[in-house]
Amino acid sequence: MLKRHLFSFLSFLLVFSLCFPAAGFAKGWDDPTKPGWGNGEKAKHGWIVSKMKHMTLEEKIGQLFIIHMYGQTPTDPAYEDTNLNNNRGAKNFKEAIERYHIGGVIYFNWTDNIGNPADVEQVNALSNGLQDVAMDQRMPIPLFISTDQEGGIVQRLTSPGTVFPGNMALGATRSPELAADSAGIIGNELGSLGINMNFAPVADVNVNPENPVIGVRSFGEDADLVSDLTVSQIEAYQDEKMIPSAKHFPGHGDTDVDSHYGLPIINHDLETLYNVDLKPFQAAIDAGVEAIMTAHIVVPALDDSGLPATLSKPILTDLLRDEMGFEGLIVTDSLGMSGANVVDPERVPVEAFKAGNDILLNPPDVEQAYNAMLEAVETGEISEERVDESVYRILKAKMEKGLFGEPNTDPEAVDNIGTEENLAKADEIADQSITLVKNEDDLLPLQDDRDVLITGPSAAKPGYLSEQLQAKGFNVSDYATDTSPTPDQIDGAAAEAENADIVVTATYTANTNDAQQQLVEAIQDTGKPVVVTAIRNPYDLMAFPEVEGYVTTYGDRDVSVEALARVLSGEVNPEGRLPVTIPDLYEYGHYLGYE
């Protein structure tokens, strides 16, 4: 397989190293007359142009799509009905590749491509099997195999992989080096599974405490910090031959609507947009990022049409492409999200492509989306020259990552996943991220001669935190509730608190959850000292500013809870700094340590 692919690649490269056509491509992007191009770049250009001359329109349209399919193998018979019933347009991966000539796939846990925990040998074999199918087609073109592995609350590969605390935790460390370390490990472990494209890092600047979709997925509220850590991660991904994708352009950080379920509006003026939202994306472009993902958000200052950025030519072509100088791949966010579906479903991919996207990600109905694009070209609504521009960029990205030479991944590469060294790095990041915000009467670190109750919603893992502290010799009990505690659960927690010397209340986005706020108030009413540990967003303190102690982790993964236990016990001196402002209470950069 290796020799066959390599021979094919080198043959094309040799033939077109000196002579190649340039007609049919818009001047100004990847033009052979581009200043600074040597014979190597010209040879690449000629090879891509030659490849495209042999592609049918159907094959070109297929390259524009990255889709999801259910299954653990290329022809998994257990998921045939599931795929057909969920508008995948085919019964399995193999059939989708053959029928639609797709450019790539995206892995999820819920599609059973990656289990939780993962069978790393299965994922590696799936990736290699998919590449074999793609390279056995009439026009052999390797696949983008993609996923979302941001770290923190958005991770598809969990155990036995290395689970990181997440981006806002990295923001709390203030360390570009740790940001790069985490991305390097993520890139290496994904690459071991045959994944070559990661929809990360998140370049959004989170300035809204009520943001329901970004929050701790952002590095923080300071555009310079977000820019620095974004660039660090991009460079680390590239070192691991991973294609990173900065997201969500032009910036999803100031919204109180989740674009999965609605259409957010960003009402920033132009000055704010350029100084805050767009700044990390410009830094990413300057660093050579290969892909940028769009946001399903309306930004009236950039486009007053009411269309989301994903469907906006002024935002994607005029701003991102022409003004900001981005020459790489523009990728839509998932086209199945509500924020994208503001026109007829069959028109969404067409309008997204006309706006300037190169890759149409995750259409909810594969056959409908493919046929709509094909019809738009056949009727002249979209020119084939415009299709060629995007296909050129796609093939160029695949070539530059070496996928045409050898798209497959050594099965033994999975031994790189979840090594002791990688796990130790995740622990180091978590330890440096935990932020002690408030500590009246030196309640922390906990004293081992006091009875401690840990309560809160199960999502905040009070039971796991209790286990960690018990293992360190503390006398701890726990009482878990629903994410929105019921009145009976609130009463039960208060009753348990009567028997404790101190209560640690773990919260999970409590600043927007009335029932959790009532739980904290009920614990306070017992007169017992209360330490709140915010397991996800750092803003929970806004709802109960009078609690005696407050610690925030920026994430709910076990690695963060374990680091929290080390801080609560005094084993680790907290050193994380707030990467956001807690409005009216604590400024950006605030932190406390143990004397």
Q: Quick check: is 333 catalytic? A: yes
The Cα 434–Cα 312 span in angstroms is 40
- Which residue has tokens 């190169």? 358
319 burial via Cβ count (<10 Å: 0-12, 13-18, 19+):
buried
Q: Are 504 and 568 in contact (CB under 8 A)?
A: yes
d(CA 90, CA 65): 14
Residue 236 φ then ψ, to 5°? -70, -40
Half-sphere exposure of 479 (CA within 13 A, CB side): 22
Runs of H (alpha helix) within 379-461: 384-400, 420-433
**CA-to-CA distance for 264 and 307, rounded, in angstroms?**
11
| Cα separation, 594 vs 573, whole angstroms | 6
The DSSP annotation for 296-361 comes to --B-TTT-TT---GGG-HIIIIIIIIIIS---SEEEPSPTTSGGG-SS-GGGHHHHHHHHT-SBEE
DSSP class per residue in 120-180: HHHHHHHHHHHHHHHHTSSS--PPEEEE-EEETTEES--TTSPPP--HHHHHHHT-HHHHH
Q: What is the DSSP letter of 504?
A: E
Q: Say which of 76, 204, 228, 333 is annotated catalytic.
A: 333
DSSP 168-210: HHHHHHT-HHHHHHHHHHHHHHHHHTT--EE---B------TT
Dist CA 18 CA 30 (whole Å): 16
**Cα–Cα distance measured from residue 330 to residue 225, given in angstroms and rounded to the nearest whole number:** 24
What phi and psi, each to the nearest 5 degrees, are found at residue 575? -140, 5
Distances (CA, A) of 207 to 90, 578, 585: 42, 13, 15
Residues 6+ apart with CB under 8 A from 436: 444, 550, 551, 567, 574, 576, 591, 592, 593, 594
Q: Which residues contact 465 (CB under 8 A, 6 or more apart)?
A: 454, 478, 504, 506, 533, 561, 564, 565, 568
CA distance 414 to 392: 32
357 touches 386 (CB < 8 A)? no
- CA–CA–CA angle 363, 368, 370 (5° rounding): 75
How far apart are the C-alpha atoms of 371 and 100, rounded to whole Å? 10
Would the CA dihedral through 359, 176, 239, 415 be positive or negative?
negative
Q: Catalytic positions, please?
A: 333
